[in-house]
Amino acid sequence: MKEKPDLLPRTIDTTGTLVTSKSSWWCSGFFPGSLWYLYEFSGDENFRAAAVDITSRIEKERNNTGTHDLGFMLYCSFGNGLRISNEEGYSNVLMTGAHSLATRYRPEIGCIQSWNSRIGWQCPVIIDNMMNLEFLMWAFRHSGDSSFYNICVTHSDTTINNHFRHDYSSYHVVSYDTITGRVEKKQTHQGYSDESAWARGQSWGLYGYTVMYRETGLQRYLDQALHIADFMINHPNMPEDMIPYWDFNAPDIPDAKRDASAGAVMASALIELSGMVDSVKGQSYLKVAEKQIRTLSSPEYLAKQGENGNFILKHSVGSIPGKSEVDVPLTYADYYFIEALLRYRKLI
Ligand code: GLY
């Protein structure tokens, strides 16, 4: 494969050919992050060398103030590299990136702005944004600057207030009025409908509040994570094998596409959550995560070596409404699957 050095793997096309992305794509950090995890697991210096090389392709995103996805992009790559291998210079990249992300905090709203304003949405904030807070909590600990902590807590609280329905499912997009700070719209972008429960969004929320409880010890974040977990696990449309349909309210269930990425993110979050509660509840979460790992490790989802463009998992969904990346391998499904396996391994 001839590849330009600023490109990263993204998925495959219908002919099975690798599709790449630039470092500015929100998923750029997942492949280098996977390499760091494989180095952590194996100690194989070839993985470390590859991880250092691929991670360096993203460095310029430290100055990107046009996206909220810097947590995914920089913390999965540089963050893991710093944690696992203490690579020189990585903490500087991360601190610059954390300051770039913090420029998107809107005090009048109490949230980090996700996407830039566009027709119909003055200040869109998506549930996925909960995933960027681990990065800012690292920046708080590293620098001692409490403004990072305050941003994370305020964003999490505003999201509890406005993104969640009474059953603890979440909207995908909440857009705010930039002058009054009030909610202007609650909609979807990647889900089936504004009132549906887009599966990966539920997983992002579950993972995000689990992290925020770990990082702050605030009970309300544990409560929120437990409510989300219970919504997902007990949903009548959750399949027996525990890999969600792409949307819990997809109209063509049981023929709707599954989303392996939603299952992998959920499994990883549940393993962490299982250690935060009493053993009976913890075991019940762990059983679900085990089931998800077993399903994802079955021939239905796990690619044969050398197939699937060399991605690990099949059957993820990027955006069905956007007709993009439907039933394909995706780097984040692989990243969170590896993470779930490593987390599970630590328990046994
Ligand atoms: N953060 C975008 C997605 O989950 O598709």
Distance from residue 192's CA to the centre of ligand 1 (Å):
14
Q: Are 161 and 23 within one domain?
A: no
CA–CA gap between residue 114 and residue 174 (Å, rounded): 10
Q: What value does the mean pLDDT of the chain take? A: 97
Q: Is the domain of 193 the same as that of 131?
A: yes
Single-letter residue type at 158: T
CA 335 – ligand 1 centroid, Å: 14
Q: Is 162 helix (H, G, I), strand (E, B) or coil?
A: helix
User: Is 278 tagged catalytic?
Assistant: no
Nearest atom in ligand 1 to the alpha carbon of residue 128 is 1
- Determine the pLDDT at residue 348: 80
Q: Write the pLDDT tens digit of every residue in 158-173.
A: 999 999 999 999 999 9
Index of the ligand 1 atom closest to the CA of residue 318: 5
pLDDT (0 to 100) of residue 151: 99
Residues 76-125 have pLDDT tens digits of: 999 999 999 999 999 999 999 999 999 999 999 999 999 999 989 999 99
Phi-psi region of 329 (alpha: psi -120 to 50; beta: other; left: phi over 0): beta
Give the residue, by CA position, lying nearest to ligand 1 atom 5. Answer: 318
Helices (H), 43-89: 45-56, 70, 80-85
Specify whether 298 is located in the same domain as 190: yes
3-state secondary structure (DSSP) of residue 73:
helix
pLDDT at 111: 98
| pLDDT tens digits along 27-64 | 999 999 999 999 999 999 999 999 999 999 999 999 99
- Write phi, then psi, for 326 (nearest 5 degrees): -100, 120
Distance in angstroms (rounded) separating the CA atoms of residues 161 and 331: 31
Q: What is the pLDDT of residues 242-295, one digit of tens each?
A: 999 999 999 999 999 999 999 999 999 999 999 999 999 999 999 999 999 999
Ligand 1 pocket residue status of 128, Cβ below 6 Å? yes
Residues 137 and 220 in one domain: yes
Cα 221 to chain centroid distance, Å, stands at: 17
Contact predicate 139/105, CB 8 Å: no
- Do 110 and 191 fall within a single domain? yes
The answer on 155 and 83 residing in a single domain is: no
Cβ–ligand 1 distance for 132 under 6 Å, the answer no
35 and 126 belong to one structural domain: no
The residue-averaged pLDDT of 316-341 equals 98
Residue 294's domain is classified under what CATH number?
A: 1.50.10.10
216 plus 314 within the same structural domain:
yes
Is 200 a pocket residue for ligand 1 (Cβ < 6 Å)?
A: yes
What is the sign, positive or negative, of the torsion defined by CA atoms of 213, 221, 296, 13? negative
**Is residue 329 pLDDT above 90, yes or no?**
yes
Render 230-277 in DSSP notation, one character per residue: HHHHT-TTS-TT---BSBTT-TTTTSSPB-HHHHHHHHHHHHHHHTSS
HEC readout, 119-151: CCECEEEEHHHHHHHHHHHHHHHHHCCHHHHHH
Q: Pocket of ligand 1, candidates 10, 133, 204: which has the most ligand atoms within 8 Å of its Cβ, to mutate?
A: 204
- Beta carbons of 81 and 55 less than 8 angstroms apart: yes
pLDDT higher than 70, residue 1 = no
- Check pocket membership of 189 for ligand 1, CB cut-off 6 A: no
> Which of the listed residues 103, 125, 145 is the one where a domain comes to its end?
103
For ligand 1, the distance from its centroid to the CA atom of residue 128, given in whole angstroms, is 6
Q: Which of 53, 69, 157, 334 is catalytic?
A: 69
Domain boundary among 103, 118, 135: 103
Token duo for residue 151: 């941003």
Is there a single domain that holds both residue 81 and residue 162?
no
Q: Which of 6, 13, 128, 157 is catalytic?
A: 128
Choosing from 103, 122, 153, the residue where a domain stops is 103
Distance between CA atoms of 204 and 265, rounded to whole angstroms? 7
Same domain, 87 and 26: yes
Atom of ligand 1 nearest to the CA of 261: 4
Name the residue with tokens 């705010």: 176
Q: Is the pLDDT of residue 2 over 80?
A: no
Six-digit token string for 309: 């463009």
Residues 30 and 63 in one domain: yes
Query: What's the Rg (C-alpha) of the chain?
Result: 19
Domain span holding position 95 = 1-103
Q: How many domains does the chain have?
A: 2
Q: How far is the CA of 5 from the centre of ligand 1 (A)?
A: 24
Tell me whether residue 1 is exposed, middle or buried, using C-beta atoms within 10 angstroms of its C-beta: 0 to 12, 13 to 18, 19 or more.
exposed
257 and 198 in a common domain: yes
What is residue 81's three-state secondary structure?
Answer: helix
Helix, strand, coil percentages, rounded to 5, for the chain: 50, 15, 35
Q: How many angstroms separate the alpha carbon of residue 295 from the centre of ligand 1?
A: 22
* Residue 330 token pair: 């995706």
Compute the distance from residue 207 Cα to the ligand 1 centre, in Å. 13
